[in-house]
Amino acid sequence: MKRTLYTIIFFIACVPLVKAQQRPQYTQYIFNNYLLNPALSGIENYTDVKAGYRSQWTGLEGAPVTGYLSINAPIGKNFIQGDATAFPASGGVNPSSRLYTQQYQAAEPHHGIGLTIVSDKTGPITQTNIDATYAYHLGLTERLNLAVGVSAGFSHNVLNTSQITTADPSDPIFNNLDNNQWKPDLGIGIWAYSSDYFIGVSAQQILPQNLYITSKTNAYQNKTVPHYFLTGGFKVFLSDDVTLIPSVLFKYIKPVPTTYDINMKLSFQDKLWIGGSYRHNDSYAALVGINLSSFVNLGYSYDFTTSALNTVSNGTHEIVIGILLNNRYKVSSAQHTF
């Protein structure tokens, strides 16, 4: 049964009209938009480290499993040593509060750098992306910043042929497999942000590459395609320290139909947040997060599958841990991201 499923997954991946994306998806994108947009490199004035693990469609053999590590930090003397929104050493005003928004000023112009390592395994296919990122942040007005970023690196693609069986072992398609490849990877992004709203546009995997099948007549059957993302969100103050943050993420991956996620996050001061998410024609999700200290925070989500896979899937688990290094202002939650 296991080999049969892997075979099905492999051949579906080779079909040009398959309704699936080639890069992993995340339920807690609001917790780490940096994974989707390199323009967020160095957006906070501390070194932001996050590690995540996602087990999709648990109970289904060969279902996607994703792990990642990301780190990014600002560069720039003015920003690191005290920008216009710097907190005092004790932590200062809760960045989710109405008072913080009233006092907000755009951050000083600065650079940001970072690194992402993402490994995604689906059946016999494992893809690992290693990308360095860079961004420049500029104040457009007294309260609005614009950041432009780029990511560049490599994608390592491995196909475990020992997990594939076919009715015809002499199938010629397997004579042209290159099952261990390194390919260049490139992405770009733009991010506009203020104290109470953000909007971003980004593209990943913008250099299409042929994978696995090296025959010129079959190359079109397994080719990477660009992934485009549009996201935005804003704050609604329910009280001085309770904030509702609606956000949306649109994904366009040709030839897949455009899809979207709708997310609602309810933040209680800078200590705790809960939320819910809807992914079009796929799932509903419950989310919760806690800022344990000025050094570590934690997020968890569970997806309830609504697609046809709900008959064989036990849902999706995703956990993210965040570390705030060099956090000289001792803030326990992000100042510039939501």
Asked whether residue 338 is domain-assigned, the answer is: no
Asked whether residue 304 is domain-assigned, the answer is: yes
Tokens for 207, please give them: 């250099």
Please tell me the distance from the alpha carbon of residue 5 to that of residue 51, in angstroms, as a whole number. Answer: 29
Q: Which whole-number Å values give the CA distances from 131 to 158, 211, 268, in the listed order?
A: 18, 19, 34
Tokens for 254, please give them: 């040709």
How many domains does the chain divide into?
1
Asked whether residue 331 is domain-assigned, the answer is: no
Which whole number is the average pLDDT over 23-49? 93
Question: CB-based contacts of 114: which residues, under 8 Å, 6+ apart?
Answer: 34, 38, 41, 42, 70, 71, 72, 73, 132, 133, 134
Tokens for 31, please give them: 């917790």
Range of the domain at 75: 2-325
DSSP string computed for 51-92: EEEEE-STTSTT--EEEEEEEEEEE-HHHHHH-TTPPPTT--
Lowest mean pLDDT among 38-47, 64-73, 208-217, 324-333: 208-217
Total residue length of the chain: 338
Question: Confidence band (pLDDT; 50, 70, 90) for 329?
Answer: confident
| Residue 210 DSSP label | B
Tens digit of pLDDT for each residue in 155-199? 998 888 777 766 666 666 666 677 788 999 999 999 999 989 999
Asked whether residue 230 is domain-assigned, the answer is: yes
Asked whether residue 330 is domain-assigned, the answer is: no
Which domain CATH number covers 11?
2.40.160.40
Q: Which whole-number Å values give the CA distances from 329 to 28, 126, 207, 233, 332, in the listed order?
A: 25, 40, 40, 26, 9
Q: Which residue from 151, 175, 147 is spatially nearest to 161, judged by alpha carbons?
A: 175
Tens digit of pLDDT for each residue in 87-132? 655 556 777 778 888 878 888 899 999 999 999 998 888 999 999 9
Asked whether residue 195 is domain-assigned, the answer is: yes
Asked whether residue 224 is domain-assigned, the answer is: yes
Maximal C-alpha separation, the chain: 70
Asked whether residue 337 is domain-assigned, the answer is: no
Tens digit of pLDDT for each residue in 287-302? 999 999 989 999 999 9
